[in-house]
Amino acid sequence: MNEKIVNPYYDRLPGSYLFSTIAKKIKEYQGTHANADIIRLGIGDVTTPIIPAAIEAMHKAVDEMACKNTFRGYGPEQGYDFLREAIIRGEYTPRGVEMDPDDVFVSDGSKCDVANIQELFAADVKIAIPDPVYPVYLDSNVMAGRTGFMQEDGHFSEVTYLASTAENNFQPELPKNPVQLIYLCSPNNPTGTVLSRETLQKFVDYANETGALILFDGAYNCYIQDESLPHSIYEIPGARNCAIEFRSFSKTAGFTGVRCAYTIVPHELGKLRSMWNRRQCTKFNGVNYVVQRAAESIYTPVGWEQTKAVIKGYMDTAAMIRSELTAAGYTVFGGEHAPYIWWKLENGEKSFDFFDRLLGTCEVVGTPGSGFGPCGEGYFRLTAFGDHEQTKVALKRIKEKL
């Protein structure tokens, strides 16, 4: 094969994808420990079944697909109106946010949208990314050639990093260098912390003053327990002129296996909204009808109560992890408004070294903090999406063996 036809920027990616590396390590351990009883608190996949209201809606929709009068073929690439309207009614209206259904673009995952959105922007656009944060923001821009080369400290030369650490209470400062794209994530994955209204206002003001665009990942917004905290960036005055928001049903409603999400591109963004619509119409055939009916059911009174109960279950597990580790003398963050615990390691231990020690000593799996960025080194992420009783066992092993 002629190497000249290959995208050279893929060679700049830092090894394999974080969670692929973890899966490989687990497989290697199992290969030498045939009777291993591994408890997985690493990848943030859900374990509670999809709520009854959504299952009932899927069954009904499947029956419709078997009848000539109600059969559906290709649906609108932007999503069916019944779901777009339900999203606004369920997510935005209660927060005092006005939204046009045409601003809602239903998709098969916010990870896909966050990665694909960069196609709309010039190759030389300057980006700012929180550190630590979900890897897809950085990796998708590495693939596009915007990041420069990785330096010895783990940072890319052309990226402005927004440190989100205990030292600044996980509230990043404004970019020190001029940028045109700013990624923000709240509640943050991996730290489990929430950006304050004051912090978001600061970034919105900066974006409107400089012409920058904010790409706001709110996939875990439904886990925020304090109603005074912002759930959407559109609760911040001026945000409609400078922000795109990403949301997901994966963690809200357990849709990791059926795939449904949505992105908000306000009509105030004009050309960008038209470009995203064009991109979706060209490269995406829409989320299937059955799944969209299931997503709609979440916003019924019964569906929302069932959804809140599932979220409460995960947050009860998060509270347990936070409480048990704190009582054992460890320093932890998160777990109050998100299903992630951000565990500060002791004595300068490297996060991948701790991964190996935790697996070998306790047969418990978490996620090394360094996989989320250089500022994540010295930390470790645990997820509350695991089975509650199994998580109890994991914590018992940690307290007794670690």
Token duo for residue 150: 């990785």
Residue after which a domain boundary falls, among 299, 314, 336: 299
Q: How far is CA 225 from the centre of its chain?
A: 17
Is 211:182 a contact under the CB 8 Å cutoff? no
- Same domain for 122 and 27: no
- Same domain for 94 and 176: yes
| Phi/psi at 399 (5° precision) | -70, -30
Half-sphere exposure of residue 135, counting CA atoms within 13 Å on the CB side? 20
Q: How far is CA 304 from the centre of its chain?
A: 21
Beta strands in 236-366 (DSSP E): 243-248, 261-264, 331-334, 340-344, 364-365
pLDDT of 16: 66
CATH of the domain at 140: 3.40.640.10
Distance CA 227, CA 182 (A): 25
Distances in Å between the Cα of 307 and the Cα atoms of 189, 228, 299, 317 are: 21, 21, 9, 16
Residues of the chain with pLDDT under 70: 16-17
Distance CA 240, CA 217 (A): 15
pLDDT of 3: 77
- Same domain for 58 and 137: yes
Element (DSSP H or E) covering residue 105: strand 104-107
Give all strands of the β-sheet with 127-131 in edge-to-edge order: 104-107, 261-264, 243-248, 213-217, 181-185, 127-131, 159-163
| Phi/psi at 291 (5° precision) | -65, -40
Between strands 181-185 and 127-131, the pairing is parallel
For the stretch 151-164, pLDDT in tens is: 999 999 999 999 99
Token duo for residue 384: 């509350």
Centre a 10 Å sphere on the Cβ of residue 267 and count the other Cβ atoms it contains. Answer: 12
CATH of the domain at 363: 3.90.1150.10
pLDDT of 19: 79
Is 199:231 a contact under the CB 8 Å cutoff? no
pLDDT of 377: 96
Residue after which a domain boundary falls, among 265, 299, 333: 299
- Same domain for 119 and 97: yes
- Same domain for 153 and 38: no
Distances in Å between the Cα of 239 and the Cα atoms of 175, 179, 182, 197, 198 are: 18, 17, 13, 12, 13
For the stretch 233-260, pLDDT in tens is: 999 999 999 999 999 999 999 999 999 9
- Same domain for 180 and 82: yes
Is 38:362 a contact under the CB 8 Å cutoff? no
Number of structural domains in the chain:
2
- Same domain for 118 and 82: yes
Residue after which a domain boundary falls, among 257, 274, 299: 299
25-28 LR contacts (CB < 8 Å, sep 24+): 25/355, 25/356, 25/359, 26/359, 26/365
Nearest to 247 by CA among 319, 298, 323, 207: 298
**pTM reported for the whole predicted model:** 0.96
Helices marked H in 286-329 — which ranges? 289-297, 301-327
pLDDT of 344: 98
Range of the domain at 160: 53-299
Q: How far is CA 223 from the centre of its chain?
A: 12
- Same domain for 319 and 225: no
- Same domain for 264 and 177: yes
- Same domain for 323 and 362: yes
Is 194:201 a contact under the CB 8 Å cutoff? no
